Structure 1
Amino acid sequence: MKKDLLKMNDLSKDEILEILNLADQLKYEKKHNIDHAHLKGKTLGMIFEKASTRTRVSFEVGMLDLGGNPLFLSSNDLQIGRGEPIKDTGRVLSRYIDGIMIRTFSQKDIENLAKYSSIPVINALTDDEHPCQVLADLMTIREYKNSFENLNVCYIGDGNNMAHSLMVGALKVSMNFNIATPKDYKPLDSYISLA
Protein backbone atom coordinates (compact mmCIF):
# COMPACT_ATOMS: atom_id res chain seq x y z
CA MET A 1 0.00 0.00 0.00
CA LYS A 2 1.25 3.46 -0.92
CA LYS A 3 2.11 5.77 2.01
CA ASP A 4 2.66 9.48 1.45
CA LEU A 5 4.23 12.03 3.80
CA LEU A 6 2.33 15.23 3.07
CA LYS A 7 1.89 16.73 6.55
CA MET A 8 2.77 15.83 10.11
CA ASN A 9 -0.84 15.09 10.99
CA ASP A 10 -0.77 12.20 8.49
CA LEU A 11 1.47 10.34 10.94
CA SER A 12 0.47 8.70 14.19
CA LYS A 13 2.78 8.77 17.20
CA ASP A 14 3.73 5.15 16.49
CA GLU A 15 4.55 5.95 12.86
CA ILE A 16 6.73 8.90 13.90
CA LEU A 17 8.60 6.67 16.36
CA GLU A 18 8.97 3.96 13.71
CA ILE A 19 10.49 6.49 11.28
CA LEU A 20 12.86 7.79 13.98
CA ASN A 21 13.91 4.27 14.98
CA LEU A 22 14.68 3.43 11.35
CA ALA A 23 16.61 6.71 10.97
CA ASP A 24 18.65 5.88 14.08
CA GLN A 25 19.45 2.45 12.66
CA LEU A 26 20.48 3.86 9.27
CA LYS A 27 22.66 6.49 10.98
CA TYR A 28 24.36 3.72 12.98
CA GLU A 29 24.92 1.62 9.85
CA LYS A 30 26.40 4.56 7.95
CA LYS A 31 28.71 5.47 10.84
CA HIS A 32 29.95 1.87 11.10
CA ASN A 33 30.27 1.31 7.33
CA ILE A 34 27.56 -1.35 7.29
CA ASP A 35 26.01 -1.76 3.86
CA HIS A 36 22.43 -0.48 3.88
CA ALA A 37 21.47 -0.34 0.22
CA HIS A 38 17.76 -0.78 0.99
CA LEU A 39 16.75 1.30 -2.03
CA LYS A 40 18.99 -0.41 -4.60
CA GLY A 41 17.44 -0.05 -8.03
CA LYS A 42 14.91 2.55 -6.85
CA THR A 43 14.69 6.10 -8.23
CA LEU A 44 13.41 9.14 -6.37
CA GLY A 45 12.24 12.03 -8.52
CA MET A 46 13.05 15.26 -6.69
CA ILE A 47 10.90 18.17 -7.88
CA PHE A 48 12.16 21.59 -6.87
CA GLU A 49 9.87 24.53 -7.53
CA LYS A 50 11.64 26.21 -4.58
CA ALA A 51 15.43 25.93 -4.48
CA SER A 52 17.27 24.66 -1.41
CA THR A 53 20.87 23.68 -0.80
CA ARG A 54 20.30 21.50 2.29
CA THR A 55 17.17 19.75 1.02
CA ARG A 56 18.71 18.86 -2.32
CA VAL A 57 22.01 17.67 -0.87
CA SER A 58 20.42 15.69 1.97
CA PHE A 59 17.95 13.88 -0.29
CA GLU A 60 20.57 13.17 -2.97
CA VAL A 61 23.14 11.89 -0.49
CA GLY A 62 20.45 9.92 1.37
CA MET A 63 19.32 8.18 -1.81
CA LEU A 64 22.91 7.40 -2.81
CA ASP A 65 23.73 6.09 0.69
CA LEU A 66 20.69 3.80 0.47
CA GLY A 67 21.76 2.53 -2.96
CA GLY A 68 19.07 4.43 -4.86
CA ASN A 69 19.12 6.95 -7.68
CA PRO A 70 18.21 10.58 -7.06
CA LEU A 71 16.74 12.37 -10.08
CA PHE A 72 16.77 16.17 -9.77
CA LEU A 73 13.84 17.84 -11.56
CA SER A 74 13.49 21.62 -11.57
CA SER A 75 10.30 23.30 -12.71
CA ASN A 76 12.22 24.04 -15.94
CA ASP A 77 12.60 20.29 -16.49
CA LEU A 78 8.91 19.50 -16.15
CA GLN A 79 5.73 20.62 -17.85
CA ILE A 80 4.24 21.70 -14.47
CA GLY A 81 5.74 25.16 -14.95
CA ARG A 82 4.24 25.40 -18.43
CA GLY A 83 0.64 24.50 -17.74
CA GLU A 84 0.52 20.71 -17.47
CA PRO A 85 -2.00 19.73 -14.81
CA ILE A 86 -0.33 18.32 -11.72
CA LYS A 87 -2.46 15.18 -12.01
CA ASP A 88 -0.84 14.44 -15.40
CA THR A 89 2.63 14.93 -13.91
CA GLY A 90 1.76 12.50 -11.11
CA ARG A 91 0.49 9.89 -13.53
CA VAL A 92 3.48 10.20 -15.88
CA LEU A 93 6.13 10.11 -13.15
CA SER A 94 4.41 7.09 -11.57
CA ARG A 95 5.24 5.10 -14.71
CA TYR A 96 8.98 5.78 -14.55
CA ILE A 97 10.16 6.23 -10.97
CA ASP A 98 9.53 4.78 -7.51
CA GLY A 99 8.85 7.88 -5.42
CA ILE A 100 8.45 11.65 -5.63
CA MET A 101 9.87 14.28 -3.31
CA ILE A 102 8.58 17.79 -3.96
CA ARG A 103 9.53 21.20 -2.58
CA THR A 104 6.86 23.61 -3.71
CA PHE A 105 4.51 26.39 -2.67
CA SER A 106 0.94 25.09 -2.40
CA GLN A 107 -0.10 22.34 0.02
CA LYS A 108 -3.08 21.71 -2.26
CA ASP A 109 -0.72 21.02 -5.19
CA ILE A 110 1.19 18.38 -3.27
CA GLU A 111 -2.04 16.76 -2.13
CA ASN A 112 -3.26 16.63 -5.74
CA LEU A 113 0.09 15.21 -6.87
CA ALA A 114 -0.25 12.45 -4.27
CA LYS A 115 -3.87 11.81 -5.22
CA TYR A 116 -2.96 11.11 -8.85
CA SER A 117 0.37 9.35 -8.23
CA SER A 118 0.52 5.62 -7.67
CA ILE A 119 3.91 6.01 -5.95
CA PRO A 120 4.74 7.60 -2.57
CA VAL A 121 4.99 11.40 -2.41
CA ILE A 122 7.15 13.18 0.19
CA ASN A 123 6.63 16.81 1.15
CA ALA A 124 10.06 18.46 1.33
CA LEU A 125 8.38 21.84 2.02
CA THR A 126 5.22 23.73 1.17
CA ASP A 127 3.93 27.05 2.39
CA ASP A 128 1.92 25.15 5.05
CA GLU A 129 4.17 22.26 6.12
CA HIS A 130 7.80 21.14 6.57
CA PRO A 131 7.48 17.56 7.88
CA CYS A 132 10.93 16.22 6.94
CA GLN A 133 12.64 19.03 8.84
CA VAL A 134 10.50 18.35 11.90
CA LEU A 135 11.27 14.63 11.77
CA ALA A 136 14.98 15.53 11.72
CA ASP A 137 14.45 17.90 14.65
CA LEU A 138 12.59 15.23 16.61
CA MET A 139 15.42 12.79 15.91
CA THR A 140 17.93 15.27 17.32
CA ILE A 141 15.81 16.03 20.39
CA ARG A 142 15.45 12.33 21.19
CA GLU A 143 19.14 11.72 20.57
CA TYR A 144 20.09 14.32 23.18
CA LYS A 145 17.20 13.97 25.64
CA ASN A 146 16.50 10.20 25.27
CA SER A 147 12.74 10.76 25.50
CA PHE A 148 10.01 13.20 24.51
CA GLU A 149 7.93 12.86 27.66
CA ASN A 150 7.34 16.15 29.49
CA LEU A 151 9.79 18.14 27.38
CA ASN A 152 8.94 21.71 26.44
CA VAL A 153 9.43 23.03 22.94
CA CYS A 154 9.45 26.78 22.55
CA TYR A 155 9.13 28.29 19.08
CA ILE A 156 9.72 31.99 18.49
CA GLY A 157 9.16 33.42 15.03
CA ASP A 158 6.63 33.56 12.23
CA GLY A 159 3.73 31.13 12.43
CA ASN A 160 4.84 29.52 9.18
CA ASN A 161 5.26 26.03 7.72
CA MET A 162 7.91 25.14 10.28
CA ALA A 163 5.74 26.30 13.18
CA HIS A 164 2.79 24.28 11.85
CA SER A 165 4.73 21.03 11.47
CA LEU A 166 6.65 21.43 14.72
CA MET A 167 3.45 22.17 16.62
CA VAL A 168 1.80 18.98 15.39
CA GLY A 169 4.92 16.82 15.64
CA ALA A 170 5.78 17.93 19.18
CA LEU A 171 2.27 17.33 20.46
CA LYS A 172 2.02 13.92 18.75
CA VAL A 173 5.11 12.66 20.60
CA SER A 174 3.87 14.01 23.96
CA MET A 175 5.96 17.15 24.21
CA ASN A 176 4.54 20.47 25.37
CA PHE A 177 4.54 23.16 22.69
CA ASN A 178 4.76 26.91 23.28
CA ILE A 179 4.83 29.50 20.53
CA ALA A 180 5.44 33.24 20.41
CA THR A 181 4.75 35.03 17.14
CA PRO A 182 4.13 38.60 16.05
CA LYS A 183 0.37 39.27 16.11
CA ASP A 184 0.08 39.54 12.33
CA TYR A 185 2.17 36.39 11.72
CA LYS A 186 0.42 33.77 13.84
CA PRO A 187 -0.05 30.18 12.64
CA LEU A 188 -3.07 29.34 10.52
CA ASP A 189 -6.23 28.95 12.56
CA SER A 190 -6.62 25.37 11.37
CA TYR A 191 -3.33 24.43 13.06
CA ILE A 192 -4.20 26.27 16.24
CA SER A 193 -7.53 24.39 16.37
CA LEU A 194 -5.79 21.09 15.69
CA ALA A 195 -3.30 21.72 18.51
Structure 2
Amino acid sequence: MSRALPACCLSLFLLASCTQRDEPLVLTYGTLTETPRPIAEFRLTDQTGAAFSRTNLLGQWTLLFSGFTHCPDICPLTLGIIRNAEDKLETPGHHRVVFVSVDSERDTPALLQEYLGWFDPDWVGLSGTRAALNPLLDSLELGYVRVPLGSEGDYTMDHSTAVVLIDPEARLVGYWKAPLDAERLAADLATLPAP
Protein backbone atom coordinates (compact mmCIF):
# COMPACT_ATOMS: atom_id res chain seq x y z
CA MET A 1 0.00 0.00 0.00
CA SER A 2 1.55 3.28 -1.10
CA ARG A 3 1.09 6.50 0.79
CA ALA A 4 1.14 10.00 -0.70
CA LEU A 5 3.81 12.37 0.53
CA PRO A 6 2.58 15.41 2.46
CA ALA A 7 2.75 18.62 0.38
CA CYS A 8 5.70 20.02 2.37
CA CYS A 9 7.74 16.82 1.88
CA LEU A 10 6.82 16.63 -1.80
CA SER A 11 8.06 20.21 -2.29
CA LEU A 12 11.39 19.38 -0.63
CA PHE A 13 11.71 16.19 -2.70
CA LEU A 14 11.08 18.09 -5.95
CA LEU A 15 13.52 20.84 -4.97
CA ALA A 16 16.24 18.29 -4.20
CA SER A 17 15.58 16.47 -7.46
CA CYS A 18 15.82 19.66 -9.50
CA THR A 19 19.05 20.87 -7.89
CA GLN A 20 20.94 17.62 -8.37
CA ARG A 21 22.60 17.00 -11.71
CA ASP A 22 21.48 13.85 -13.49
CA GLU A 23 24.92 13.38 -15.04
CA PRO A 24 28.35 14.41 -13.82
CA LEU A 25 30.14 17.26 -15.55
CA VAL A 26 32.33 16.02 -18.39
CA LEU A 27 35.03 17.98 -20.22
CA THR A 28 36.34 16.21 -23.30
CA TYR A 29 39.25 18.58 -23.89
CA GLY A 30 39.66 20.32 -20.55
CA THR A 31 40.68 18.77 -17.24
CA LEU A 32 38.35 18.41 -14.27
CA THR A 33 39.66 18.83 -10.74
CA GLU A 34 39.36 15.73 -8.56
CA THR A 35 36.91 17.56 -6.32
CA PRO A 36 35.40 21.04 -6.64
CA ARG A 37 37.48 23.61 -4.72
CA PRO A 38 35.75 26.61 -3.13
CA ILE A 39 37.11 30.00 -4.14
CA ALA A 40 38.31 32.34 -1.40
CA GLU A 41 36.47 35.53 -0.56
CA PHE A 42 37.86 38.48 -2.54
CA ARG A 43 36.95 42.02 -3.52
CA LEU A 44 38.09 43.53 -6.81
CA THR A 45 36.86 46.29 -9.14
CA ASP A 46 35.26 45.61 -12.52
CA GLN A 47 35.74 47.65 -15.68
CA THR A 48 32.82 49.93 -14.80
CA GLY A 49 34.29 50.77 -11.39
CA ALA A 50 31.82 48.57 -9.49
CA ALA A 51 32.86 46.16 -6.74
CA PHE A 52 33.08 42.49 -7.74
CA SER A 53 33.38 39.69 -5.19
CA ARG A 54 32.95 35.93 -4.82
CA THR A 55 29.18 36.51 -4.59
CA ASN A 56 29.20 37.73 -8.21
CA LEU A 57 30.44 34.30 -9.31
CA LEU A 58 27.38 32.50 -7.93
CA GLY A 59 24.60 31.29 -10.21
CA GLN A 60 26.52 31.04 -13.49
CA TRP A 61 29.39 29.13 -15.06
CA THR A 62 32.49 31.31 -15.39
CA LEU A 63 35.56 31.04 -17.60
CA LEU A 64 38.33 33.01 -15.90
CA PHE A 65 41.67 33.98 -17.43
CA SER A 66 44.35 36.12 -15.78
CA GLY A 67 46.69 38.37 -17.73
CA PHE A 68 47.35 42.03 -18.54
CA THR A 69 46.48 44.50 -21.26
CA HIS A 70 50.10 45.24 -22.23
CA CYS A 71 50.70 41.56 -23.01
CA PRO A 72 52.02 41.31 -26.57
CA ASP A 73 50.89 37.78 -27.41
CA ILE A 74 49.48 35.21 -24.94
CA CYS A 75 46.62 37.34 -23.59
CA PRO A 76 45.21 38.65 -26.88
CA LEU A 77 45.65 35.23 -28.45
CA THR A 78 43.87 33.44 -25.59
CA LEU A 79 41.02 35.95 -25.43
CA GLY A 80 40.65 35.75 -29.20
CA ILE A 81 40.37 31.95 -29.03
CA ILE A 82 37.72 32.20 -26.29
CA ARG A 83 35.77 34.71 -28.43
CA ASN A 84 36.11 32.39 -31.45
CA ALA A 85 34.90 29.42 -29.38
CA GLU A 86 31.83 31.38 -28.26
CA ASP A 87 31.08 32.25 -31.88
CA LYS A 88 31.05 28.54 -32.73
CA LEU A 89 28.29 27.72 -30.22
CA GLU A 90 24.93 27.03 -31.88
CA THR A 91 23.10 28.51 -28.89
CA PRO A 92 24.43 30.98 -26.32
CA GLY A 93 26.49 29.23 -23.64
CA HIS A 94 25.60 29.04 -19.97
CA HIS A 95 28.72 30.93 -19.00
CA ARG A 96 30.39 34.30 -18.77
CA VAL A 97 34.03 35.29 -19.32
CA VAL A 98 36.06 37.09 -16.65
CA PHE A 99 39.50 38.56 -17.35
CA VAL A 100 41.54 39.31 -14.21
CA SER A 101 44.41 41.75 -14.65
CA VAL A 102 47.63 40.91 -12.80
CA ASP A 103 49.04 44.37 -13.62
CA SER A 104 47.56 46.57 -10.92
CA GLU A 105 49.81 49.53 -11.76
CA ARG A 106 48.75 49.99 -15.39
CA ASP A 107 45.40 48.25 -15.83
CA THR A 108 42.77 50.70 -14.67
CA PRO A 109 39.06 49.89 -14.99
CA ALA A 110 38.84 52.29 -17.98
CA LEU A 111 41.73 50.58 -19.75
CA LEU A 112 40.21 47.15 -19.11
CA GLN A 113 36.90 48.34 -20.54
CA GLU A 114 38.62 49.59 -23.70
CA TYR A 115 40.71 46.41 -24.01
CA LEU A 116 37.80 44.00 -23.58
CA GLY A 117 35.81 46.00 -26.10
CA TRP A 118 38.08 44.51 -28.77
CA PHE A 119 36.85 41.02 -27.82
CA ASP A 120 33.42 41.31 -26.21
CA PRO A 121 32.13 44.34 -24.29
CA ASP A 122 29.93 42.02 -22.19
CA TRP A 123 32.94 40.26 -20.69
CA VAL A 124 33.98 41.24 -17.17
CA GLY A 125 37.40 42.77 -16.50
CA LEU A 126 38.71 42.85 -12.93
CA SER A 127 41.56 44.75 -11.33
CA GLY A 128 42.88 45.42 -7.86
CA THR A 129 45.96 45.67 -5.72
CA ARG A 130 48.26 42.69 -5.28
CA ALA A 131 46.78 42.13 -1.82
CA ALA A 132 43.26 42.14 -3.28
CA LEU A 133 44.19 39.84 -6.20
CA ASN A 134 46.03 37.17 -4.23
CA PRO A 135 43.09 35.52 -2.41
CA LEU A 136 41.31 34.88 -5.72
CA LEU A 137 44.33 33.87 -7.79
CA ASP A 138 45.86 31.76 -5.01
CA SER A 139 42.64 29.79 -4.59
CA LEU A 140 42.65 29.17 -8.36
CA GLU A 141 46.37 28.30 -8.31
CA LEU A 142 47.11 30.99 -10.90
CA GLY A 143 50.53 32.53 -10.43
CA TYR A 144 52.03 35.78 -11.68
CA VAL A 145 55.24 37.74 -11.23
CA ARG A 146 56.50 41.16 -12.30
CA VAL A 147 59.60 40.98 -14.52
CA PRO A 148 61.76 44.15 -14.85
CA LEU A 149 62.88 45.13 -18.37
CA GLY A 150 66.04 47.27 -18.49
CA SER A 151 66.80 50.29 -16.36
CA GLU A 152 63.93 52.60 -17.35
CA GLY A 153 61.46 51.07 -14.90
CA ASP A 154 59.62 49.22 -17.66
CA TYR A 155 58.37 45.73 -16.90
CA THR A 156 56.30 42.86 -18.13
CA MET A 157 54.24 40.25 -16.28
CA ASP A 158 54.73 36.50 -16.39
CA HIS A 159 51.48 34.71 -15.55
CA SER A 160 49.62 31.43 -15.72
CA THR A 161 48.09 30.70 -19.11
CA ALA A 162 45.32 28.31 -18.04
CA VAL A 163 41.66 29.19 -18.48
CA VAL A 164 39.80 28.01 -15.39
CA LEU A 165 36.21 26.85 -15.12
CA ILE A 166 34.23 27.99 -12.09
CA ASP A 167 30.87 26.37 -11.40
CA PRO A 168 27.66 28.20 -10.36
CA GLU A 169 28.54 27.55 -6.70
CA ALA A 170 31.79 29.56 -7.06
CA ARG A 171 34.07 26.51 -7.03
CA LEU A 172 37.01 25.69 -9.25
CA VAL A 173 35.98 22.55 -11.16
CA GLY A 174 38.26 22.44 -14.20
CA TYR A 175 40.67 24.15 -16.55
CA TRP A 176 42.03 24.23 -20.08
CA LYS A 177 45.78 24.49 -20.63
CA ALA A 178 47.55 26.25 -23.49
CA PRO A 179 47.64 25.89 -26.39
CA LEU A 180 43.89 26.35 -26.64
CA ASP A 181 41.82 25.27 -29.63
CA ALA A 182 38.59 27.14 -30.37
CA GLU A 183 36.75 24.08 -31.74
CA ARG A 184 37.60 21.96 -28.72
CA LEU A 185 36.82 24.70 -26.24
CA ALA A 186 33.46 25.29 -27.95
CA ALA A 187 32.69 21.57 -27.72
CA ASP A 188 33.28 21.62 -23.97
CA LEU A 189 31.31 24.85 -23.47
CA ALA A 190 28.35 23.33 -25.31
CA THR A 191 28.15 20.57 -22.67
CA LEU A 192 27.86 22.90 -19.67
CA PRO A 193 24.41 22.38 -18.15
CA ALA A 194 22.12 25.29 -17.42
CA PRO A 195 22.78 26.54 -13.88
Same fold, TM-score > 0.5, yes or no: no
Larger radius of gyration: 2
TM-score normalized by the length of structure 2: 0.26
TM-score normalized by the length of structure 1: 0.26
More strand by share: 2
Structure with bigger RCO (C-alpha 8 Å, 6+ apart): 2
